[in-house]
Structure 1
Amino acid sequence: METSVNGVTATPAVYEIGGRRIEIESRGFAEALADAYAAHQRPRCLCQAEGVEMYVARLAGSSGGYIVKRMPDTGSHHAPACPSYEPPAEFSGLGEVLGSAITEDLATGETTLKLDFPLTKMPGRLQVPPLGGQSDSASSSGNKLSLRGLLHYLWDQAELTRWHPGFAGKRTWATVRRHLLLAAANKFTGSGALRTRLYVPEPFSVEARDAINARRLAHWRQAVAAPGKPQQLMLLIGEVKEIVPARYGFKAVVKHVPDQGFMVDERLYRQLGRRFEPELALWGAAKGIHMVMIATFCVATGVPAVVDVSLMPVTQQWLPVEDPFEKQLFDRLVGERRSFVKGLRYDLNAGSEVANAMLTDCEDSTPRLSEVHPGSKGNHGSGQHLQIGDPSVPVWLWDPSSEAMPALPRRQPHQPSTVETPVAFR
């Protein structure tokens, strides 16, 4: 059975719950989840003939609803077209931090995140962490997430790394914001619920300016300095419009927050230019690139001030990119109406092997697409690339320094989901 949402055809997820086959959009689905949770039953996703075991978790807060979630490290067991499909953790930097910096409780559905940057700042104490909490000079130990690692994790969880031609024209900032906030739900750090600390700007509207500003200031109230007490920090994820000199010091101007700049001190401003030179160069030179910023900030004398920051360039489709060649690859994939999942680096350094993407529109396989970097660890002279994970996975290689982009693996027909279903049901 297929349904149509906003003119886009989709195949709903189908589960076996308590011996009964039921679609995610069927009447009684919520009740079936509640019954399965009470009976400690494990639903099975029927995207594969043998089914893939999942589990039911209860939503925190006042909603009291239930969600179906993947069992840890089973995303690759689902069919490539299934909304629950996820590449193997080894395909990206996720494998380095899963189970150590990121741990999930199957009983509650809550995920605990260990961060290598603080969300509090002691009064009078100078804190000068590595910019973004992470340096490309050495690999991460995998025990904690840097700012960049946290941004990559939330981008992955929000499924903003997944692309299908049916998403074209529908992935607006409002969509990005909604998915990020859903992804942050049931995530906890040593400072408490991540969602309470996370600020993702609402789409700006002149007509609703006063109401938007009031909600923003109410959310920021917890980060206002109190004499003699630790300064609580907020997390910002937003699109940067510009980072420029101000009347005093420097400021970051964030889109959808036109009335308020985020102050940046001179030390941080100088570090930005050095640490993120490739990202800033790509942003300045390539057409259609957005710059996403994740930052910790405090509110002193009513003005937000950035404490630490990391930057991530993304395409018009909000797909993260590292260099012009990766952007060229994604432009081609999107232009040829391909379906794929983008691999993220998390806290791996620039020389570590990460697949650029995995195609999800090839029946019974997910070919790995890899752009050859001069500093990566593969044996490129022999035409081979460092194999990650399952050696049976077909690998497509492109060395931009010596060849034009090869033909992509051929698409094979199947019926993938084409609607960005809320992540709470995955």
Structure 2
Amino acid sequence: MSEYLFPTGEILETATPEFQGALADAYGDTSNRVRCLCKTGGLPMYIAKRGELYILKRMPNTAEEHAAGCDSYEPPAALSGRSEVLGGAIKHDDESGRDKLRFDFSLSRSQRPQMSDSAQASGDSVRAEPNKLSFLGLVHYLWDQSGLVRWKPFGAVIRWEQVRERVLRAASGAEAKSRGLSDILYMPEQFDKDRHDAQEARRIGFFKRFEQKASSGYLLCIGELKEFSESRGAHKLTIKHAPGVAFLMDKVTAGRFGRRFKAEMASWAADEKTRLIAAMTCAIEGGIAHVVEITLMPVTHDWIPFDGAMEKQLLDVLMRQEREFIKSLRYNLAAGSPVASAILTDAGEQGVALFLPPEEPEARIAWAERIEGYSGPTWEWLGGDMPALPMRASEAE
């Protein structure tokens, strides 16, 4: 956990009980900023206020300057698909402090898009134009912003209620077409049988805001997949913590869903520790959710996204060896794109980018071109037996 030097000379961690009060006292002082002590001399920070809560944030464009193990560190954008969408699909508005997002999928009832069978035509599985965020790219953005891509050993087990809280907080810092993302995003509350009636009343009230009319648009839903089945002639999807709520698919959409996400569903069925995050746009009609578009994101039991069996194996090894890392996400880029799988944050101030290069010669050339400008330390696994991981900084000393 990072330490911060306050103008008073105090050095505090975020978990310190006095931290909020210290932020309140330092709020508005731009001549003597709080400094992050992840590196010698410290790096200046700024304080934002949301309601009664004070939030310490890194200065713009300084994410890579922080030490790899710091809470404020972010890997270079070139190591993920983030670099492809920054400034286009994702634009930060300094005045409002929010990110403005543009999507290549519709939130409006004026269009009812069809999910494609083809992985080559599906916006959630190939590189979309950099000025619009794919559906999977949106989920990656929310996971990135919520810190769910960061993993450290010995941390508390993250339950769905923490996932929900983090993602909704991330969504509150973004908007699409002047609508706050958190205003249209439904994520079920952690199921509690003693509070279920109240939870269900809140869910029904939220759905009512999207009842069938042109101005209401589609509801956006993110949850953990529980089941996909056919019952009474209808195809339906259910998510955990929302018992009794069915998300219906027509026959055509269900068929495309089954073909497009066959591999993800098979991986999920084969490994009980794999979770599937489902993100859907839904038309609400008579209180019932009808799926318009959907994407799936496989994640580990600890909610870390992964692409394919080899990357899942790498993440399992990292966790088993109790390493600290940040998972890199591809956003709009196609599966198998030349991005780092993860960045080790316990192997020095720069961190070490972990790569799984493709076997095909043409793909290997594209991979090499993409990381050509990255000068930091790297590690590669070309298949076969996994090479030893870089040593922890504490072991190398």
Task: Output the TM-score relative to the length of structure 2.
Answer: 0.90
- 3-state secondary structure, aligned to 1:223: coil
Give the letter aligned to residue 413 of structure 1.
S
| Residues 189-228 of structure 1, C-alpha deviations (whole Å, 9 max, x = no match) | 11511111111111112222211101111122211114xx
Note the C-alpha offset of 1:276. Answer: 2.1
Change in 2 beyond 3 A, CA 1:399/1:281: farther
Give the paired residue count.
390
- 3-state secondary structure, aligned to 1:215: helix
Contact 1:158 1:180 in 2 (8 A): yes
Contact 1:286 1:324 in 2 (8 A): no
> Partner residue of 2:205?
218
- 3-state secondary structure, aligned to 2:394: coil
2:79 corresponds, among 91, 100, 104, to 91
Aligned partners of 2:284, 2:243: CA distance in 1, in Å?
17
1:45 and 2:33 matched: no
Aligned partners of 1:134, 1:74: CA distance in 2, in Å?
34
2:295 corresponds, among 299, 302, 310, to 310
Aligned partners of 1:258, 1:27: CA distance in 2, in Å?
38
Aligned partners of 1:112, 1:308: CA distance in 2, in Å?
21
Deviates more, 1:241-250 or 1:142-151: 241-250
| Residues 233-255 of structure 1, C-alpha deviations (whole Å, 9 max, x = no match) | 11111000111112132100111
Aligned partners of 1:253, 1:136: CA distance in 2, in Å?
21
Aligned partners of 2:317, 2:18: CA distance in 1, in Å?
42
Contact 1:15 1:46 in 2 (8 A): yes
- 1:328-347 to structure 2, matched below 5 A, reads 328-347=313-332
Change in 2 beyond 3 A, CA 1:191/1:110: closer
> Partner residue of 1:179?
166
Aligned partners of 2:98, 2:9: CA distance in 1, in Å?
27
Higher RCO (C-alpha 8 Å, min separation 6): 1
> Partner residue of 1:128?
114
1:265 and 2:255 matched: no
Aligned partners of 2:386, 2:221: CA distance in 1, in Å?
37
> Partner residue of 2:364?
378
Note the C-alpha offset of 1:287. Answer: 3.7
Give the letter aligned to residue 325 of structure 1.
M
| Residues 231-283 of structure 1, C-alpha deviations (whole Å, 9 max, x = no match) | 42111110001111121321001111111111111121111122223322221
> Partner residue of 1:411?
392
Note the C-alpha offset of 1:367. Answer: 1.0
> Partner residue of 1:56?
47
Aligned partners of 2:349, 2:188: CA distance in 1, in Å?
40
Note the C-alpha offset of 1:143. Answer: 0.7
1:190 and 2:177 matched: yes
Give the letter aligned to residue 364 of structure 2.
G
- 1:21-40 to structure 2, matched below 5 A, reads 21-23=10-12, 24-25=14-15, 29-30=19-20, 32-34=22-24, 36-40=26-30
2:58 corresponds, among 49, 62, 70, to 70
- 3-state secondary structure, aligned to 1:377: helix
Contact 2:112 2:292 in 1 (8 A): no
1:203 and 2:186 matched: no
Aligned partners of 2:146, 2:386: CA distance in 1, in Å?
30
Note the C-alpha offset of 1:37. Answer: 4.6
Aligned partners of 1:138, 1:340: CA distance in 2, in Å?
26
Give the letter aligned to residue 207 of structure 1.
D
Contact 2:80 2:329 in 1 (8 A): yes
2:308 corresponds, among 309, 312, 323, to 323
> Partner residue of 1:354?
339
Change in 2 beyond 3 A, CA 1:130/1:35: farther
Contact 1:276 1:311 in 2 (8 A): yes
- 3-state secondary structure, aligned to 1:408: coil
> Partner residue of 1:421?
none
Note the C-alpha offset of 1:161. Answer: 0.7
Deviates more, 1:158-167 or 1:182-191: 182-191
> Partner residue of 2:267?
282
Q: CA RMSD in A?
A: 2.6
- 3-state secondary structure, aligned to 2:241: coil
- 3-state secondary structure, aligned to 2:96: coil
Identical-pair percentage: 38
5+ residue gaps in structure 1?
1-10, 415-426
Aligned partners of 1:37, 1:16: CA distance in 2, in Å?
11
Aligned partners of 1:12, 1:277: CA distance in 2, in Å?
42
Contact 1:165 1:338 in 2 (8 A): yes
